[in-house]
Amino acid sequence: METVSRLLGGRYQTEELLGSGGMAAVWRGRDLRLDRPVAVKVLTGAGLDEPTALDRFDREARAVARLAHPHIVAVYDFGTDEGDPYLVMELVDGPTVSALIGRGPVPVAQAVAIAEQTCDGLVAAHEAGVVHRDIKPGNLIVTPTGIVKICDFGIARLPQDGENTLTNAATRLGTSSYMSPEQAVGGAVDARTDLYGLGCTLYAMLTGIPPFTGDPLHVLHQHLHDPAAAPSSRRPDVPAALDALVADLLAKEPAGRPTDAAQVRDRLAAIRAELTGAGSVPVPLVPAVAAAAGRAHPAGPWPVAGGGPFPASDARPAVEQADPPADRRRQRQGLAAALGVLAVVALLAVVVASQLTGDDDDPLTPPVVAPTAAVVTQAPPNPVVTVTAAPTTTRARPSTPAPSTRTTSARPATRSAAPTSAPASTPPRTASPSPSPPPPSDPIVAIRLSIKEQVDTGQLSPDAAKDLYAKVDAIAKDLASDDPQRAKDDIKKFRDKLTELNKGGRLTDAGFTQLTKDIDRVAADLD
C-alpha cells in the first residue's frame, strides 16, 4: 500500500492517509486549482484487478455527478493516474450515524431530524432516477452544524439501468442488517427500496440495534418473513406515530410502504412538530464518552465505520447472540421450503458476497478504519444541536456534559416551505404555494433554508446555490471555533457574492433582499 503523498491528474495533491483497505485508500487532499480541501479515494492493490470494484467506482462517480444537493456528499472529479483510478469528493467533517448509534440510542427528536434530512436527499436522488440501494447508518454523516449528508453511491441503480437488477450479487447487495426483502431475493428495486433501508436505520437510531439481528442468513430470513418489534417495545418514549411510520417503512412488500420519500418527509415533519411542543433540550451530536478499552479514537480525521465498499479487514462486527444452531437449521429449512431452491441459491450468493465485501454495518461495535465514499473527520469538541422533546423523552445513553461551541437547530437544512403539522396521509408535494413554517431560531440553519427556498422559487440559480452553501459552512465553522473576526470576514465574502450574483442575473432582486436579511441575522449574533 502506497503511503507517500502524490499528485493525481496534475491537480489533486494527497496530503494525509486517512484509511486504507484491501482495495482502496482514502486520503485527505487538496485541489490545487481551486485551493480547497478534498477527499481522494484511490483504487489500489486487489481493487485494480477486481472488475466489481472498478464498476462501483465508475457507478458512484456517475450517480453523484447528476446530483447537486446539500444532503448528498458531492463528487467533484473522477480519473486515472498512472493506471490508478481515483475519485475526488467533498471532505465532510462529522461522525457517521453509525458512530452515534455505537454510543447508544439517539434522542428521539434528533433521530427524527436525521431521518427527515435523509428523506430530503433521497427526494433529490429519486427525482434524478437514482436509487441508492444501501441506505444505512454508515452511509449517513452528521456535520458539526447538524446537517446530514448521504454518501457512498457505489451500488446505486442509475436511470439507464431501467429495471435491470444486475445479476452480479456484489452490485445488488446492500448490507444484510439494512437490506430490503426484494434485494435479498434479487428482485427489482425502486425508490421504496431506499425507504426500507431508511426504516431500518431509523429503527437502529431509536433502539441502538437494527430491527433484525443474528447471522447473515438468519437476518435475511427475518427481513423476508418476520415482523419487526415496535421501537416503543424497546424504548417506551417513542411516540405512536413514529412506531406506525417505522412499521410502514418496514413493510415486506414495496406496495405496502409509503409511495415516496417526500411523503415520509412530511410524516416526519408532523412528528417533529409534535415533539417540539415541550421546549428545547440541547443534545450533543457527538457525546463525550470514554473510548472502548484498547481502542484509541483519533483526535483528528476519523474514517467512517463500515460505510464503504472496501473493507479494512475480513473481520465481522459483533451482533446480538444468534439463536441456537438447531433453531437456525430449522429456520434455514423453512426458508428453503418457502422460497424454493433457486431463491435460496440467490440468497446464499448475496450472503457470500456480503461476507466477502465486509459490508456489515452493525452499530453495536465501535468504529473501525475503512475507506468510504466520503471521508469523515472528527467534529470539533461537543457540537450541540438544539431539539425539542416531549417530557417523557429521556437520554438512552450516558454522556458527559460539556460546554457547547454553538447551539444549532435540529431542523433540516433544506426543508422547502411546508406546514410543519402535515398529516401522515399528506400527498407528495407540488409546486403550489403552502404556508411557511416559523423561521428557525438559529440564523445559520435559517439562511440554509432560505437559500433552498430561493432556488425552489426561481429566485436563485441552482448552480450558484452550491457556492453560497459553502460560504455558509465556512461561517458556521468560524462561529463553532469561536473566531468572530474570521466569521465577519466570511460574512463579507457572502455579501460580496450576493452582489456578484445579483449583478450577473443569477439572483433576483427579491432573492437578494431576502438573503441579505438572512445574513444580517447571522451578523447580528456577533454584535
Summarize the annotated binding site for ATP as residue ranges.
41
Cell numbers found for residue 203: 429503527
Confirm whether 134 is a catalytic residue.
yes
Longest dimension (CA), the chain: 73
**Per residue in 488-523, is it b (16+ CB within 10 Å) or e — as a string?**
eebbeebbebbeebbeeebbbeebbebbeebbeebb
Distance CA 459, CA 353 (A): 48
Q: Please tell me which residue in 93, 120, 134, 473 is annotated as part of the active site.
A: 134
Closest CA to 99 of 136, 135, 132: 136
How many Cβ atoms sit within 10 Å of the Cβ of residue 218?
Answer: 21
Query: Are the beta carbons of 81 and 93 closer than 8 angstroms?
Result: no
Q: Which residues pair with 187 in a beta bridge?
A: none
Place of cell 456528499: 73
Place of cell 403539522: 421
How many Cβ atoms sit within 10 Å of the Cβ of residue 417?
Answer: 15
SS3 of residue 383 by DSSP? coil
Determine whether 329 is exposed, middle or buried from the number of CB atoms within 10 Å of its CB (0-12, 13-18, 19+): exposed
Helix 191-207 to helix 108-127 angle, to the nearest 10 degrees? 170
Distance CA 347, CA 187 (A): 11
Catalytic residues: 134
